[in-house]
Structure formats: structure tokens, C-alpha cells
Amino acid sequence: MATGPPPPSGIYVPVPTFFQSFDKYAYKQPLDHDAQAEHTLLLARAGVTGLILCGSTGEAVHLTSAERVELISRQKKVLADNNYDNVVIMAGTTSQNIDETIGVIKESKDAGATYALVLTPNYFAVAGGYSEEGMREWYVTVANNSPIPVLVYNYPAVSNNLQLSLSLMKTLSKHPNIVGCKLSHGNMSHHLILSSSPEIEHQYFRVFTGLGQQLLPLLLSGPGAAGAIDGTAAYFPKSMIRIYNLAGRIRSGDATTEEWEEAQKLQCAYSEVEEWVVKFGTVGIKEAIKIVLGISVGQAGGRLPFSESHLTREWEKFREVFERVQDIEAKL
């Protein structure tokens, strides 16, 4: 077991995995390393704190083990070759199998990741097969055997609606190799409690929201509030970073009335554009990257069974809110 400090506070981007255009009915599109590198450098230049590779947005469930390793190692090299060694790489570890989870973490560490974002196991969640004790032991065993620090990833929408309890999260926060969590759910109360509770040593356990809509209220809550790991930041990173920086000035008492108003207006605009991700998830993020940034995302937006064909007619409904944030982004 390796122990280390929690990840630095800031804005992290769950990065999509880019694929080459290919026969739509081929069972596997090749990785597009050029598009991946282009996107990585765009985010690094914008000033993001870190990248999450091979997470939910990265379609980890559609990747082979070898592809995960190749993806992490190549992006680590791209960052190093362009003097962005300060950008943190966090690896997603999506597996129901505890042995495989630990194996993925070890491979990710060897490829260049410094943290592991560990999704809650969930296959039997609706079949009554899980207890709080079992979930606790699962995470403790993973953390005990992980060569890099672990963050708990609680994302009910992809986990059979499994919601980890506050008591379990508080217990896990005490493990020396569990250094934080990503909460991708709408229960703001859990965000605020875990970032403020006196039962948690917040210098060792940091709380990140997976929903950019919640960034400002989270950052104004408690000492454990660390930032966001947010999909919309994949194409609007500067706006998210600006909210983060304004929140820092508000917390320190240095913000002017104008900065307060800017933070509120920007959070509102960002929250509206985030509704696109709420509705269309990973495929929506890739479609927005294609339209906003002009980066090729590959055919069908992702590997089967993903398809982006229904998004074209939906885009017009969101055009106005996207253009509003694009104008803000261009000025930052």
C-alpha cells in the first residue's frame, strides 16, 4: 500500500477517448492518438489541474486493458514533452472484479497515473447482494493493495443507482490511502456534509463534485471542498476555472461585489449548458467537443452501442446557452 497526499484542489477534466472514423458496423474503432493529444494540450494550456483518463466519460468499459495502458502512457508523454508535467493524471478503474481493479490500478500507475478513481462495484446492487460492511471491505482491500492513492467514485447513474451512505464515506475517509471522493449525484447535502464534517480530517480527504452545476455552492461550503471533475470542462475549461478562482476570492473575503455577481452569473450560465451533459452524457460531451472545439471524435461519437445520430436535431435546442458560454470562454 502506498500513501500520499490528496490530489491538489482545482478543476479536473474527465477526458473522452477519441476514436478514428471507421466502418460504423465494425466492432472496434481504433484509438485516435492525434485527436487525443490535441485535446490534452488544449486543456493543459487552459490551466486545468488534471485529467481523468479511462473513466466513465473515457468509455473505460469499451476499452481493452492494453488500450487503457497505451492511452495513459501516450498522454503522459504528450504532457511531459510540452512541459506540462504539473498536470495530474488520474486513472479510472471500472471493474466489478476486485482482483482486476487492483490490476488496472497497478498498470495505470506504471503507465504514468498518480491517482486512481475507483468506481463503486454495483452489479448486484438491485439484487440485494451488497451490505455496507461488504462495500467497506471492498474499498479497504483495494486501498490496501493500491500502489497509488485512491479516490472513491460514487456515480449512481452508472452504478445501478447505488448510493454510498454518509457513514460509509466517513469511515473510508479515515483510510490512509483513500484521499478523496468524486460525487456524481445531485444530493448536495452529501457534498456539503463530507466537505464540512468535523469527523473527517479534511487535509487528508478532499471532496470533488462530478457536476459542474454544483461547483460554486460546494466551494463555499467547507474546508474539504476541493473542486470539480466535470465533463463540460472538456470544452469550456476556462469558464470552470474562472468560477473556481472567483470562489477562492469569495472564501478569502477578498471578492468585490462585481466578482460576486460575476461568479453567480457565470455559474448560472455554466449550469444551463451543463444540462446538455445531464441529458446526453458521454456522447453529448463528444458531440460538443466536435462542434465547439472542432476536434474529430470519430464515427458514432464512441464505440458501439453508442450513436450520436439523434444529437443533430437536439443541438438547436441548446445552441443559445452554448453560444452564451462560448462568448464568455473567448474573453477569458
Residues 186 and 181: their CA atoms lie apart, in Å, by 15
> What amino acid occupies position 277?
V
Length of the chain: 332
Catalytic: which of 12, 115, 139, 153? 153
Decide if 115 is catalytic.
no
Q: In 3D, which of 277, 279, 184 has the Cα closest to residue 235? A: 277
**Strands in 206-283 per DSSP E:** 206-209, 225-229
98 is in an annotated binding site: no
Contact partners, residue 187, CB within 8 Å, separation at least 6: 163
229 is in an annotated binding site: yes
Peptide bond before 305: cis, by omega within 30 degrees of 0? yes
Letter string b/e over residues 117-146, b meaning 16 or more CB atoms within 10 A of that residue's CB: bbbbbbeebeeeebeeeebbebbbebbebb
Catalytic: which of 12, 76, 115, 182? 182
CA dihedral in degrees (77, 78, 79, 85; nearest 10)?
20
Residues 83 and 91: their CA atoms lie apart, in Å, by 20
Decide if 153 is catalytic.
yes
Residues 229 and 218: their CA atoms lie apart, in Å, by 13
CA 183 from chain centre, in angstroms, equals 9
> What amino acid occupies position 138?
W
Cβ atoms within 10 Å of 86's Cβ, excluding its own = 10
| Bind-site residues for pyruvate | 57, 229
- Binding-site residues, in ranges, read 57, 229
List the catalytic residues.
153, 182
